[in-house]
Structure 1
Amino acid sequence: MLGLLLLLQVLASCLWLGHSKVVPTFKTPCSQVFYKDTPPSDSLRPTNAARICQFYGNKNRFSTLYDRTNRIPVYSAYIYQPGKGGRSDSWFVEPQLINQKYGADMDTEDSIKKTKGINSADIGKNQAIDQDYSDAQGLDRGHLCPSGHQTGDGKTATFTLTNIVPQYSTLNQGAWKHYEDTTMAQKTKGCDKTYVITGAVPGKTKVPSGRVNIPSHIWSAACCLKGNKPIKAWGAIAENERNKNHVRNLELWDLENRLAGLYGGRGVTLFKNSCA
């Protein structure tokens, strides 16, 4: 009996670990963060892609399509639910991008090195590591799923480098912050639920380490529901350049058309039925 109680205590404690899992498709394990359980069209998917269900506290917080070659997320999809909670003191990486047999818990580099007996080069083969951003002057760790759009433990879950792109400080702390904090709060008034997809278009330059792509554009799209009925949708896009600090607010169709051009002319559909 005592052994059973100890086992139950261990299992209960494990429920509070952070989990993220590399999956072959979003459609079953973590589709609830997409409108109508439907991810964007494959036109955004890079050749060396990884789909990550970002779990924390035994709950799927958001989902990320990750580009292992450029070492940045293509997009993160989430439900807008801002609330109370603190920021994380740690940055996580994805163990299953190192080895599919590794556990599904988000973890820090130091912890992985200690438990797996590997080094930073092993960890960083298919993803960004802390050192990539430490030497990137003028560039912030830009959240695609912002901590400010989540609540409680959901905020901590956003502090994984698989959710981060090199974003110029002028934009991240200027017009893009205004969009995240103010414009989204205004536009979501009257919405019972808002599905969001925020992404980054790969650029032509890299951070000083030469390993992580600096996106040319940051974009975001939202689908607002009243009850179960979509009532409005919108988009936004910004050039990610050192001296640029402007966000262009768009209709959803306009954003999709612009992204089609930026992604080589391939049609882009972000929400099923265009959230109509």
Structure 2
Amino acid sequence: MEAAALLLVLCALACPHPLLARVVGDDEDGFAECNVFFKDQSPPEGFGGPSRVKICQKYNGEPRFATLYSTENKIPVYSAFRYREAAPSQGEGWLLEAQLDDPENAAEEMMEEAEAKESIGELGLHQSLNEDYTDPNYQPFTLNPGFLNEGDYQRATYTLTNAVPVPQSFRKSWSLEVGHIVKEALVQQCENGEDLYFVTGAVPSDETVNNKIAVPESLWLAACCNTAEAWSMGFIQKNNDVKLESLSMEELKKHLPEEVNIFTNPCGEGTENAQQSKVLETINQRRAEEAEEATGPFFRFIRFLARVVYGIVKTVFYIVWFFIEQIFNIIAGGICCLWDGAVSYLLAISGVLGTIPIDIIRVIGNILMGCVRTINNVLTVVGMILRVPLRFLLDLGNFPYLTLCAIPTVGKEIAVGVFGSLGLLIDSIFSLTGSSYSVTSFACNRFLQRLPGFSGGSDE
């Protein structure tokens, strides 16, 4: 059973997984099944509007994070997620949400732009497209950072409904700062990140990319450690700045254009505790170390070489990993095919073996019926052979009995015949005598009538 389960897992890994998302209706509570990414399942308040759409981002059929998307600015207002595990970004391709431009579309599956163009007429009317990011000064960047997720959760972040256009310099500084703060400070001070809730947002500016996508004025991050001693912190970075600013939640709200409440249920706002102080201490210590490392041309040269080596190693690693992944997919696919063939063969053999007892019983029944018919035929022949002498012997044995029994009957018949013959003889004699008498009487009468002088009346 363990081997079968392992093979099924390998088959699942070798096959592509669907990236899913769905637009949440206004009649549904919050973000529906994606409410689990908010503290106490309560989404932020104050971010609503006619051009805001709630999206429950999924991967492989499971919720991964929630996004409030602006169809006017073509960028997300915010994305909410839980901390899982940081991992290097894989640089996956960007996908689209079909229901934004086609509300009647029943498909909840995110799709590639080329595929969406075939089924949606006004594609890009309410969302950004890959072709909109043609400005070399801006690149799409995941608002829910892909580098703070791993596996399925990271793959789910690569959708344009979770992307904002940022300069390359901002992208690097934000990723570096947020990555270190989350992994080295927030996670360490919040029980290894098991109770961390994050909301990341973008403040739009008047600048656009291709007169369509709003360039963020700043990106912000709100973190809530939902433990017994709950505490929260905010971070914000301007588009033209390379420094991430640490703020309290009250201060962060002042930088947002709307009157909002990010954590609707209080998460330690307005209070200070030891964890917050340690987070700020970790951030300041790291920045001091970076500043110390950055001083002097020698250290800058060493850092440059380190980045070059890191880039080369990273590229080689990705190339090796690509070939390993392809080999693994080929092997896993072969194992899946072999497994399917083995299962089909075993099922066929099981079907054949299952009919053997029935065939054996049928053969035994035919043999017994044949034996019964043979015995019946033998007895019939023996009976036919013995029937003639038995009948003769029976007739011979019955002859004396039948003969003796027939004597009275024969004697009776003879007596009846004799007495019958005597009766007939007597009747004949009497009949002859009567006839003779009648003839004689008639003759005499006729004779007397002929005599002369004899008158009639002689008959009397």
TM-score (norm: length of structure 1): 0.83
Do the aligned partners of 2:32 and 2:56 also contact (CA within 8 Å) in 1? no
Unaligned runs of 5+ in 2: 1-11, 269-460
Do the aligned partners of 1:19 and 1:56 also contact (CA within 8 Å) in 2? yes
Note the 1:1-276 alignment, pairs <5 A.
16-24=17-25, 25=28, 26-41=30-45, 43-84=46-87, 87-102=90-105, 103-114=107-118, 116=119, 118=120, 122-133=122-133, 135-174=134-173, 176-185=174-183, 186-191=185-190, 192-207=194-209, 209-226=210-227, 229=228, 231-241=230-240, 244-259=241-256, 262-263=257-258, 266=259, 268-276=260-268
Cα RMSD for the two superposed structures: 2.1
In 1, the alpha carbon distance for the partners of 2:171 and 2:89 equals 19
The change in CA–CA distance for 1:230 and 1:212 in structure 2 (over 3 A counts) is farther
Structure 2 counterpart of 1:7? none
Unaligned runs of 5+ in 1: 1-11
Report the secondary structure of 2:22's partner residue.
strand
In 1, the alpha carbon distance for the partners of 2:60 and 2:178 equals 24
Letter in 2 for 1:21: R
Report the secondary structure of 1:31's partner residue.
helix
In 2, the alpha carbon distance for the partners of 1:166 and 1:27 equals 25
Do the aligned partners of 2:95 and 2:160 also contact (CA within 8 Å) in 1? yes
Letter in 1 for 2:130: D
Q: CA deviation at 1:94?
A: 0.3
In 2, the alpha carbon distance for the partners of 1:85 and 1:251 equals 29
In 2, the alpha carbon distance for the partners of 1:136 and 1:245 equals 21
The change in CA–CA distance for 1:53 and 1:15 in structure 2 (over 3 A counts) is farther
Structure 2 counterpart of 1:6? none
Deviations 1:16-58 (A, max 9, x none): 42110001242533100000101111x2223311100001111
Do the aligned partners of 2:24 and 2:31 also contact (CA within 8 Å) in 1? no
Q: Which has the higher contact order (CA 8 A, sep 6+)?
A: 1
Q: 4+ residue runs of structure 1 moved beyond 6 angstroms?
A: 12-15
Q: CA deviation at 1:15?
A: 10
Do the aligned partners of 1:86 and 1:156 also contact (CA within 8 Å) in 2? no
Specify which structure has the higher proportion of strand.
1
Do the aligned partners of 1:86 and 1:152 also contact (CA within 8 Å) in 2? no
Alignment size in residue pairs = 248
In 2, the alpha carbon distance for the partners of 1:237 and 1:67 equals 20
Which protein shows a greater Rg? 2
TM-score (norm: length of structure 2): 0.51
Do the aligned partners of 2:59 and 2:153 also contact (CA within 8 Å) in 1? yes
In 1, the alpha carbon distance for the partners of 2:89 and 2:220 equals 25
Report the secondary structure of 2:261's partner residue.
coil
Q: CA deviation at 1:272?
A: 2.4
Letter in 2 for 1:108: E
Report the secondary structure of 1:66's partner residue.
strand
In 2, the alpha carbon distance for the partners of 1:236 and 1:86 equals 22
In 2, the alpha carbon distance for the partners of 1:91 and 1:173 equals 19
Deviations 1:191-222 (A, max 9, x none): 22211000011101101x21111111111101
Q: CA deviation at 1:71?
A: 0.4
Do the aligned partners of 2:42 and 2:265 also contact (CA within 8 Å) in 1? no
Do the aligned partners of 1:85 and 1:152 also contact (CA within 8 Å) in 2? no
* Identity in percent: 30
Specify which structure has the higher proportion of helix.
2
In 1, the alpha carbon distance for the partners of 2:139 and 2:199 equals 20
In 2, the alpha carbon distance for the partners of 1:230 and 1:45 equals 30
Letter in 2 for 1:129: L
In 2, the alpha carbon distance for the partners of 1:32 and 1:15 equals 26
